[in-house]
Amino acid sequence: MRIEVSNNRGEGTARVVLGVVLAGVVLLASGSVLGHVGSPQLTDDCGSCHVGHGKPGEPMLGKSEEDFCYQCHGSDQERSRMVAEGRLLPSARLMDMRQEFDKQYTHPVERQGMHSPTEVLPTFGGAEVSHAECVDCHNPHQRLEAGKRMDFAVSGYSINGQHMERSLHQYEICLKCHTDKMGAKSSEMSLDRVFAVNVRSQHPVTVPLSGRLLPSMVDKAMTGQRMKCSDCHRSSDRDGPRGPHGSDYEFMLSGNYNRDVYVRESAFAFEFCYSCHDRFSILGNESFPFHREHIEGDPVSGRKGTSCYTCHASHGSPENPNLIKFNLQAVTGEKSGRRVEYLETSQGSGTCVLECHGHNHAPGGY
């Protein structure tokens, strides 16, 4: 680990708003990353964290891994203790991160002893140590200096697979663990493939927003920005801390997302997508004229509704425009040629070639 620290308190108090470099805040208030070193809320640049004399191999932290961070980022009680010990100012307003990691779907920070300050990630793809610690994503020695380009001060990978000592975008941190998780770079779901910059249809994490105004957009003012992974993977509490720490919902999503082939439509069933794509616009067929028919089904004939997931990829679709990627558990090849295809004729019209719930679309146009 490279540590860049100094005891010069003055510079460290600079607070740089991320907006420009990250330009990534979609729905959430503009975020800032604040350094520890030089923070006016810590009573001592180093001594607030490093205490005592320590043992060889342990940088005098007192507590291990996440328990160390929870001393200040845990419960009010834990913080009071730090205040009483004179290590933290009483005015510090910090959120309870322990609560996030107590949720059902989390990064597994409680797996002990797997992180090493000198590790080279990724550790997936067969290696037995698959872990995620606070310090894999956060540098405890981060300080921000006025006028310097903002970075995360933790390593990562660029979307082209280049190792980076310091990540400039949030997703680069994620890519150091989440590319070969699914087995190999060739895996069609691998994040570096679906978010590759030449993928035409993707949620704009590695590329800026397309600039075309989608009818369903809840927030119409998003042009030119990028999304962050943590716009989608974050706390299920609306006012909870930012970041992919924990959620009540599968895949650490900000809201519920039912991906079943047959689903009864409701605001809750697709809460996650509807947080950005207006439910009434989608069901009002403002883009795809058969959205409602597919999503709600047809009560008269008794045909059931289906999930967005039956037709849409969540990350990116290298094959098709409009994030179309058919769930092959719901859709099979059409009868004559066994093909599953989507062709966009022009914006707002296209053709599907497939078979779905016994309906042969060979082809079905709109």
Hey, which residues between 96 and 125 contact ligand HEC (CB under 6 A)?
97, 101, 107-109, 117, 121
Cα–Cα distance measured from residue 151 to residue 156, given in angstroms and rounded to the nearest whole number:
11
Q: Give, as ranges, the residues between 54 and 83 that touch ligand HEC (CB under 6 A).
A: 59, 61, 66, 68-69, 71-73, 82
Interface residue with ligand HEC among 230, 236, 258, 327 (CB under 6 A) is 230
Of 160-168, 245-253, 333-341, 357-365, the segment contacting ligand HEC by CB under 6 A is: 245-253
* Number of residues in contact with ligand HEC under rule CB under 6 A: 119
Q: What is the sign, positive or negative, of the torsion defined by CA atoms of 160, 162, 163, 169? A: negative
Q: Is residue 50 a contact residue for ligand HEC (CB under 6 A)?
A: yes
Q: Is residue 251 a contact residue for ligand HEC (CB under 6 A)?
A: yes
Interface residue with ligand HEC among 155, 167, 256, 275 (CB under 6 A) is 275
21 vs 27, beta carbon nearer ligand HEC: 27
Q: Least distance in Å: CB of 119 to ligand HEC?
A: 8
Q: Least distance in Å: CB of 338 to ligand HEC?
A: 19
Length reported for the chain: 366
Q: Is residue 354 a contact residue for ligand HEC (CB under 6 A)?
A: no
Of 161-169, 296-304, 309-317, 333-341, the segment contacting ligand HEC by CB under 6 A is: 309-317
Interface residue with ligand HEC among 134, 144, 153, 354 (CB under 6 A) is 134
Interface residue with ligand HEC among 153, 164, 167, 245 (CB under 6 A) is 245
Q: Is residue 323 a contact residue for ligand HEC (CB under 6 A)?
A: yes
- C-alpha angle 64-66-69 in degrees, rounded to nearest 5: 95
In a 10 Å sphere around its CB, with 0-12 CB exposed, 13-18 middle and 19+ buried, how is residue 122 labelled?
middle
277 vs 304, beta carbon nearer ligand HEC: 277
Of 161-169, 296-304, 315-323, 332-340, the segment contacting ligand HEC by CB under 6 A is: 315-323
Q: Is residue 31 a contact residue for ligand HEC (CB under 6 A)?
A: yes
Q: Give, as ranges, the residues between 148 and 207 that touch ligand HEC (CB under 6 A).
A: 170-171, 173-174, 176-178, 181-182, 189, 191, 195, 201, 203-205
Q: Is residue 45 a contact residue for ligand HEC (CB under 6 A)?
A: yes
**Closest of 213, 83, 206, 61 to residue 141, by C-alpha:** 61
Q: Is residue 272 a contact residue for ligand HEC (CB under 6 A)?
A: yes
Q: How far is CA 42 from CA 50, 64, 152, in A?
A: 12, 20, 20
**Closest of 34, 15, 33, 35 to residue 24, by C-alpha:** 33
In a 10 Å sphere around its CB, with 0-12 CB exposed, 13-18 middle and 19+ buried, how is residue 174 labelled?
buried
DSSP 96-153: -HHHHHTSSEE--TTS-S---TT--S---TT-S-----HHHH--TT----TTSPP--S
Q: Is residue 276 a contact residue for ligand HEC (CB under 6 A)?
A: yes
Q: Is residue 303 a contact residue for ligand HEC (CB under 6 A)?
A: no
Q: Is residue 297 a contact residue for ligand HEC (CB under 6 A)?
A: no
Strand partners, 30: none
Q: What is the sign, positive or negative, of the torsion defined by CA atoms of 208, 214, 216, 219? A: positive
Q: Is residue 271 a contact residue for ligand HEC (CB under 6 A)?
A: no
Interface residue with ligand HEC among 26, 144, 164, 354 (CB under 6 A) is 26
Q: Is residue 343 a contact residue for ligand HEC (CB under 6 A)?
A: no
Interface residue with ligand HEC among 165, 210, 328, 337 (CB under 6 A) is 210
Interface residue with ligand HEC among 16, 144, 164, 282 (CB under 6 A) is 282
Stated as kind and residue range, the H or E segment containing 273 is helix 271-274
Strand partners, 88: 42
Q: What tokens were used for 30? A: 């503009």
My answer on whether omega of the bond before 363 falls inside 30° of 0, hence cis, is yes
**Closest of 108, 92, 88 to residue 100, by C-alpha:** 108
268: phi then psi, degrees, rounded to nearest 5: -80, -40
